Amino acid sequence: MLLGVKFVGGKGHQGIGMTRLCSPAVFSLASPRALLFDLDGTLVDTLGDFCAVLDAAFTECGWPTPSRAFVAATIGKGGEHLIRSALTHQGIPQDAYAMAAEAYQRHYEHLNGTHSQVFPGVSEALAGLHQRGLPLVCLTNKPQAFARTLLDRKGLLACFSAVWGGDSFERKKPDPLPIVRSAELLGLRAQQVWMIGDSRNDAQAARAAGAPVMLVAYGYNHGEPVEQAGADAVLESLLELPPMLDEAAAREAG
C-alpha cells in the first residue's frame, strides 16, 4: 500500500510511500507504458528564472516589473500567456506585446536555468525510472529549445526519450492534443501513459485525453490548492512513483 494515502472525502490507507491524496481509482490503474512529465513546477523550480527574465525584459522596456507572487500564480500556460498577463497586470497596453516578447525571448536565452533548482528527489527518481527502461518524455508548454537547454543544464536531459514543448504541437496544455500526440509518437494510446505534473493544466489535459494523472504537491498550480485539480494522486515527491509502478505491476501479475 502507499503510505499516507487518503481519499478525497473518504478513508485512507497507511502503507509504504508518502502519497497523501488520491482517488480510489488509483488502486486499479494499469501499469503505464510510458511516463510524461511536465517541467516547470514538476521537475525544476523555475520561478526564479521567470521572475529574473520578466524583470530584465520589463526594465529594459522602461516598465514596472510584476511581483514574484503574481508570476508564481500565472506561470504554466506558456510564455505568451505570461507576458500578456504581466502587461495587463502592470497596466501596459497589449500593443506593446511584440516589444515585450522580443526582450523576453532574448533575456530567457541568457538566463535560462540560472535562477532555478531541481526539486528534491527528482534526479534520483528520474534516474531510477530510466534504469527500468520505461520511456520518459518531458511534455511542457515551455518552448522546446528552452526546455532541452534547461534539462541539459540541470543534468536531466539524458533521462528522457523525447522532449516536447509548447511549440511542438498545434495546441498547448490544457488542450489534450499534446498528450495524445506524445503517446502516438511512442506508438501508444493516451490511456497507456501516465501524466505527471503540478497543475490543473496537466490534470485537464490528461482527463480530456483519457490518461491517468499524478500531480506533485510542491508545484505552482496558479496559486490554487492542488488537491482540487482532479488528479488520481497528489505526490509529495517523485520518489513515490516507483512504488506506485511496482504496485500496479503486482496487481496485474495477480
Q: What is the pLDDT of residue 95?
A: 98
Q: What is the pLDDT of residue 16?
A: 32
Q: In whole numbers, what is the pLDDT of the chain averaged over residues?
A: 91
Q: Comparing C-alpha atoms, which of 39, 35, 66 is closest to residue 53?
A: 66
pLDDT tens digits along 17-30: 455 556 777 878 99
> How far apart are the C-alpha atoms of 143 and 83, rounded to whole Å?
14
Give binding residues as ranges. 38, 40, 198
Q: What is the pLDDT of residue 160?
A: 98
Q: What is the pLDDT of residue 18?
A: 53
Q: What is the pLDDT of residue 52?
A: 98
Question: What confidence category does residue 11 fall into, taking pLDDT thresholds of 50, 70 and 90?
Answer: very low
pLDDT tens digits along 43-59: 999 999 999 999 999 99
> How far apart are the C-alpha atoms of 254 and 53, rounded to whole Å?
52
Q: Does residue 14 register a pLDDT over 80?
A: no
Q: Which residues contact 35 (CB under 8 A, 6 or more apart)?
A: 129, 134, 135, 136, 137, 193, 194, 196, 241
Q: Does residue 136 register a pLDDT over 90?
A: yes
Q: What is the pLDDT of residue 40?
A: 97
> How far apart are the C-alpha atoms of 69 and 114, rounded to whole Å?
19
Active site residue 175: no
> How far apart are the C-alpha atoms of 70 and 58, rounded to whole Å?
14
153 HSE (CA, 13 A, CB side): 17
> How far apart are the C-alpha atoms of 47 and 188, rounded to whole Å?
33
pLDDT tens digits along 61-88: 999 999 999 999 999 888 999 999 999 9
C-alpha cell at 124: 534520483
pLDDT tens digits along 105-127: 999 999 999 999 999 999 999 99
Q: Does residue 7 register a pLDDT over 50?
A: no
Q: What is the percent of the chain with per-residue pLDDT over 90, rounded to a whole number?
A: 83
Are the C-beta atoms of residues 60 and 100 closer than 8 Å to each other?
no
Question: What confidence category does residue 13 fall into, taking pLDDT thresholds of 50, 70 and 90?
Answer: very low
Are the C-beta atoms of residues 82 and 141 closer than 8 Å to each other?
no
Q: What is the pLDDT of residue 21?
A: 58
pLDDT tens digits along 87-100: 999 999 999 999 99
pLDDT tens digits along 166-198: 999 999 999 999 999 999 999 999 999 999 999
> How far apart are the C-alpha atoms of 164 and 72, rounded to whole Å?
23
Q: What is the pLDDT of residue 19?
A: 59
Q: Does residue 15 register a pLDDT over 50?
A: no
Question: What confidence category does residue 4 fall into, taking pLDDT thresholds of 50, 70 and 90?
Answer: very low
Give binding residues for Mg(2+) as ranges. 38, 40, 198
Structural domains of the chain sorted by starting position, each given as residue range(s) with its CATH number in brackets: 21-44+117-253 (3.40.50.1000), 47-111 (1.10.150.240)
Report, as an integer, the average pLDDT of 141-161: 97
Q: Tell me which of 38, 49, 202, 232 is the catalytic residue.
A: 38
Report, as an integer, the average pLDDT of 220-237: 91
Q: What is the pLDDT of residue 26?
A: 80
